[in-house]
């Protein structure tokens, strides 16, 4: 009998303990408070990685290419999109939700400018509708909207390109960095064995510098237009949309990469993998070009070069001479090979300044020589030392 009472008591205690555990577990499983969705514009749809609100798919304020200043109404996001399905832009404002899709003027651009990406892209108005935006194929896309003028553009990032004086095609064409594969969360574009000389360069995608959102919009103060950058400058490790030209300070063969990560944007790398052979400049003509020059008493321009000549050669050193050059503070200039931008060009960050007139020049975001003394005249020489990879720009006052 005592054993029966003892077993009954133990069973009752066990039931009470399990009940306490069950009650405790229920408290822990209480629903979490709802996630607060911040105000903003979100990409959302089955063609993307986002079927609900996600901060990685939020459009952010960006620079208007006109004057390169941030415009609060100009928003952008880079997002991977599948060629099947679609997406909307959803605006959150407090408890309000508005879903946007393509309007009547939205469609394929047939009259892109020469500065815009040289690929097929879409642009036009957006309206409140559940109809989705769609793209023709899997890829990375630049989604841009201006909330004031009511225009959206969707541009495919077919490739990233290296362009500039330091690159094989100069400022006239891209050295392409191709995609290594499609992914909804991260994508990498890469080029190998790119021959980079000492010079300046930029990254741009799909062969364009900018996209016109509204070229006639009056910004005030005589400034017109809303345009979004499709290029990066600044520094390889700190990319800036539409930023200053970036200097390449060591020549060689490079592997270039541009990696996009959802929510983080782009990171770039330039890794030297080999040395370039010495270049023989003996039969290469260099001249001056720019509106910082005065030729025959008239301010020159950026349409054609002047004073083309071949160098005096001494071993691996090549010296070009331009005597009696007049300058103006109303512009700037560069050194350029031949009479186009296909080959080498040289600016302030690529040279060592020398001579008693060196302090009379500064530079700008494009790396040009900017005169500080209006109407001054100089004898200018430019020495390329192919063996040491140095360029010396000597300015002597007249």
Decide if 14 is inside a domain. Answer: no
In terms of pLDDT, which residue wins out, 33 or 234?
A: 234
20 is a domain residue = no
Model pLDDT, residue 33: 58
**Nearest CA to 346 among 374, 312, 322?**
322
What share of the chain in percent tops pLDDT 70? 91
Among the three residues 156, 179, 198, which one is the final residue of a domain in this structure? Answer: 156
For residue 5, is it within any domain?
Answer: no
What residue numbers bound the domain in which 364 lies? 286-397
Q: Do residues 201 and 139 share a domain?
A: no
At residue 16, the pLDDT reads 43
27 assigned to some structural domain: no
Mean pLDDT of 45-50: 98
* 144/151 Cα distance (integer angstroms): 8
CB contact at 8 A, 160 and 207: no
For residue 17, being part of any structural domain is answered with no
The pTM score is 0.86
Q: Which two tokens stand for residue 262?
A: 């959802």
Q: Are residues 105 and 188 in the same domain?
A: no
SS3 9: helix
Main-chain dihedrals φ then ψ at residue 225, nearest 5 degrees: 105, 150
Q: Report the CATH number at residue 374.
A: 2.60.40
| 18 domain-assigned | no
pLDDT digits (tens, 9 = 90+) for 162-207: 999 999 999 999 999 999 999 999 999 999 999 999 999 999 999 9
Span 300-307, mean pLDDT? 96
Q: Are residues 181 and 255 in the same domain?
A: yes
Kindly state the average pLDDT of the residues 143-159.
98
Round the average pLDDT of the chain to a whole number and report it: 92
Determine the Cα–Cα distance for residues 114 and 45; give it in Å rounded to an integer. Answer: 32
pLDDT, residue 349, reads 84
Q: Which pLDDT value is given to residue 35?
A: 60
Residue 264 has pLDDT above 70, yes or no: yes
CA-angle at 127, arms to 126 and 133, nearest 5°: 55
Q: Of 274, 307, 334, which residue constitutes the final position of a domain?
A: 274
23 in a structural domain: no
Residues 255, 149 share a domain: no
3-state secondary structure of 17: helix
Task: Give 189's strand partners.
Answer: 179, 258
Determine, yes or no, domain membership for 213. yes
Pair (180, 222) in one structural domain: yes
Residues 164 and 269 in one domain: yes
Q: Are residues 256 and 300 in the same domain?
A: no
Strand 160-164 and strand 175-179: the pairing is antiparallel
Say if residues 346 and 335 touch (Cβ distance below 8 Å).
yes
Report the domain count for the chain: 3
pLDDT category, 281, cuts 50, 70, 90? Answer: very high
Are both 294 and 380 inside the same structural domain?
Answer: yes
One domain, residues 202 and 300: no
pLDDT bin (cut points 50, 70, 90) of residue 36 is confident
47 and 137 inside one domain? yes
| pLDDT tens digits, 4-29 | 444 444 444 444 444 444 444 445 55
Longest dimension (CA), the chain: 126
CB contact set of 153 (below 8 Å; sequence gap of 6+)? 121, 122, 123, 142, 143, 144, 145, 211, 213, 228
Interior angle at CA 241, CA 238 and CA 247, nearest 5:
55
300 & 219 share domain: no
Examine the domain organization and report whether 305 and 368 are in the same domain: yes
Closest CA to 270 of 252, 284, 288: 252
Where a domain ends, among 127, 156, 185?
156
Residue 56 has pLDDT above 90, yes or no: yes
* Structure-model confidence comparison of residues 1 and 102, the more confident one: 102
Q: Is the pLDDT of residue 68 over 50?
A: yes
């Amino acid at each position: 009998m005592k054993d029966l009472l003892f077993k009954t008591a133990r069973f009752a205690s066990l039931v009470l303990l399990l009940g306490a555990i069950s009650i405790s577990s229920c408290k822990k499983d209480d629903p979490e408070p709802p996630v607060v969705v911040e105000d903003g514009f979100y990409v959302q749809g089955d063609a993307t990685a986002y079927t609900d609100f996600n901060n990685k798919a939020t459009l952010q304020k960006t620079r208007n290419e006109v004057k390169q200043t941030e415009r609060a109404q100009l928003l952008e996001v880079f997002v991977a999109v599948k060629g099947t399905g679609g997406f909307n832009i959803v605006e959150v404002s407090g408890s309000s939700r508005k879903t946007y899709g393509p309007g009547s003027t939205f469609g394929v651009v047939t009259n892109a400018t020469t500065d815009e990406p040289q690929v097929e892209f879409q642009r036009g108005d957006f309206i409140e509708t559940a109809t989705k935006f769609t793209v023709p194929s899997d890829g990375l896309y630049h989604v841009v909207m201006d909330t004031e003028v009511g225009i959206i553009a969707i541009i495919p990032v077919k490739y990233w390109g290296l362009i500039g004086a330091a690159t094989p095609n100069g400022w006239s064409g891209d050295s392409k960095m191709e995609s290594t594969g499609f992914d909804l969360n991260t994508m990498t574009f890469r080029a190998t064995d790119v021959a980079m000389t000492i010079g300046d360069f930029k990254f741009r995608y799909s062969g364009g510098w900018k996209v016109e959102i509204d070229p006639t919009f009056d910004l005030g103060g005589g400034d017109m237009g809303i345009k979004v950058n499709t290029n990066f400058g600044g520094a390889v490790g700190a990319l800036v949309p539409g930023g200053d030209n970036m200097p390449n300070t060591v020549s060689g063969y490079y592997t270039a990469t541009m990696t996009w990560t959802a929510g983080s944007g782009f990171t770039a790398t330039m890794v030297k993998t080999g040395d370039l052979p010495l270049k023989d400049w003996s039969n290469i003509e260099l001249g001056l070009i720019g509106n910082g020059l005065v030729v025959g008493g008239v301010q020159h321009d950026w349409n054609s070069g002047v004073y083309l000549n071949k160098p005096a050669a001494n071993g691996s050193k090549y010296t070009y001479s331009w005597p009696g050059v007049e300058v103006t503070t109303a512009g700037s200039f560069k050194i350029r090979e031949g009479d186009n931008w296909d080959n080498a060009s040289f600016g302030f960050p690529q040279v060592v300044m020398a001579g008693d007139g060196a302090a009379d020049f500064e530079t700008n975001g494009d790396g040009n020589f900017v005169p500080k003394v209006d109407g001054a005249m100089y004898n200018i020489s430019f020495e390329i030392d192919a063996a040491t990879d140095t360029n010396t720009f000597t300015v002597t006052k007249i």
